[in-house]
Amino acid sequence: MTIFQAPEYDARKARRRKIILSVVAAVAVAAGIIWFVFRNWPEEHVTKNFFTALVNKDYKTAYGVWINDKNWESKPPLQRYPFTDFYRDWGPAGDWGPIKSFKIDGSTRPRDKDGTSNGVVVIVTVNERKEPALIFVDKDKQLSFSPFELAP
């Protein structure tokens, strides 16, 4: 066979290649969509566990979720945000009042000045109030009040 002799066209082989490429492209697009929709699911799940404990008035469990330490009671109290401060903020007399319902509205991954992100802001409607709660979930799954504000 020389350079001027082309192999005979095989329609069956060409059709098979087209189907394989189409399937690979469809799977890649579906994977991208699934990743985009569920990219912040772990942080939203932690936030859901936190608010579920608050709705159930299980403040000790909620505090354990907040600081990402289930065994917090067997350790010395935290200086930066002790349970008494947590209960004052999230208990029945807190800013949100007794939490009876919540809905996770979405989440966003804010970027620092250098373009990196070290956590996710989860937007939660609490007790059907207009002003949402902004919960920051860091890479270690510890919760805090969001240092970021929502843009209108």
Asked, for residue 82, whether it belongs to a domain, the answer is: yes
Asked, for residue 16, whether it belongs to a domain, the answer is: no
**Is the whole model's pTM more than 0.85, yes or no?**
no
Asked, for residue 62, whether it belongs to a domain, the answer is: yes
Q: pLDDT in tens for each of the 152 residues of the chain? A: 677 787 888 899 999 999 999 999 999 999 999 999 999 999 999 999 999 999 999 999 999 999 999 988 888 877 888 999 999 999 999 888 899 999 999 999 888 777 777 899 999 999 999 999 999 999 999 999 988 877 66
Asked, for residue 10, whether it belongs to a domain, the answer is: no
Asked, for residue 17, whether it belongs to a domain, the answer is: no
Query: For the purposes of burial, counting CB atoms within 10 Å of the CB of 91, is it exposed (0-12), middle (13-18) or buried (19 or more)?
Result: middle
Domains held by the chain: number:
1
> 128: domain range?
41-145
